[in-house]
């Protein structure tokens, strides 16, 4: 049996991977679902890699699943369960004053880029927003931000895998754009700091 050799990920534009992943991790409203043909077309222009294969599968899943099921599952997965939260600094800082400093640093990074970053009412560490920043505003500094939070990405991926969610494939695609070997052995944090703080000013 002949094995098909997969070309390295470096032949794929990471900006496309990050933008498609950003939308795949967004709430599946009508606007996002209307973008699915565009996402499929963008991936079709890329070489076949682990990342593009996984994202194509996710796009098909979104296209073939009834919208009401997608929305129910999304809320249950990301809004009602912190084990899968997409807010990256939560994994390192929990709800503490230290997290406020981390959020402020990310927001300053957005300001320094010179681009107007629409937070869509979210905190600046929301993964879809960071991915869009990587894709559109500043790929270099955005990717460095992902590298800084590699532990959080691996933790989310593991939690989604254990849940049996297709969204785990999106996290795998994201991690495949980062340097090999980073994050090896990272698992879900079992102790996340908790402290009542106000985070509204960072939205």
Residue given tokens 């409203």 in the structure block: 29
Nearest Cα residue to 70 out of 79, 61, 57: 61
pLDDT of residue 183: 45
For residues 89 and 68, give the distance between their C-alpha atoms in angstroms, rounded to a whole number: 30
Q: Given this model, what pLDDT does residue 179 score?
A: 86
Pairwise CA distance, residues 131 & 185, whole Å: 23
| The pLDDT of residue 4 | 40
Residue 188 to residue 28: CA distance in whole angstroms: 26
Tell me the range of 115-119, 162-166, 199-203 where mean pLDDT is highest: 162-166
Give the end-to-end CA distance of the chain in Å, rounded to a whole number: 54
- Torsional class of 166: left (φ above 0), alpha (ψ -120 to 50), beta (otherwise): alpha
The encoded tokens of residue 46 equal 């890329």
* Cα–Cα distance for residue pair 163/31, rounded to 1 Å: 27
Q: What are phi and psi of 198, to 5 degrees?
A: -95, 125
pLDDT tens figures, 119-171: 878 999 999 999 999 999 999 999 999 999 999 999 999 999 999 999 999 99
User: pTM of the full predicted structure?
Assistant: 0.84
Q: Which residue ranges make up each domain of the chain?
A: 13-202
């Amino acid at each position: 049996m002949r094995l098909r050799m997969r070309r390295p990920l470096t032949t794929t534009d990471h900006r496309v991977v990050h933008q498609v992943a950003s939308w795949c991790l967004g709430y599946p409203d009508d606007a996002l679902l209307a973008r699915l043909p565009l996402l499929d077309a963008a991936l079709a222009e890329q070489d076949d890699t682990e990342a593009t294969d996984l994202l194509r599968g996710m796009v098909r899943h979104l296209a073939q699943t009834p919208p009401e099921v997608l929305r129910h599952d999304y809320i249950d997965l990301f809004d009602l369960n912190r084990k899968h939260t997409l807010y990256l600094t939560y994994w390192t800082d929990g709800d503490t004053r230290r997290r406020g400093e981390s959020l402020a640093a990310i927001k300053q990074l957005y300001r320094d880029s010179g681009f107007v970053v629409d937070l869509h009412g979210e905190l600046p560490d929301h993964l879809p927003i960071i991915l869009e920043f990587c894709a559109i505003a500043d790929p270099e500094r955005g990717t460095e931000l992902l590298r800084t939070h590699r532990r959080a990405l691996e933790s989310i991926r593991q939690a989604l895998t254990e849940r049996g969610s297709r969204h785990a494939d999106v996290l795998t695609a994201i991690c495949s754009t980062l340097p090999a070997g980073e994050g090896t052995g990272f698992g879900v944090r079992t102790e996340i700091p908790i402290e009542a703080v106000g985070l509204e000013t960072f939205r």
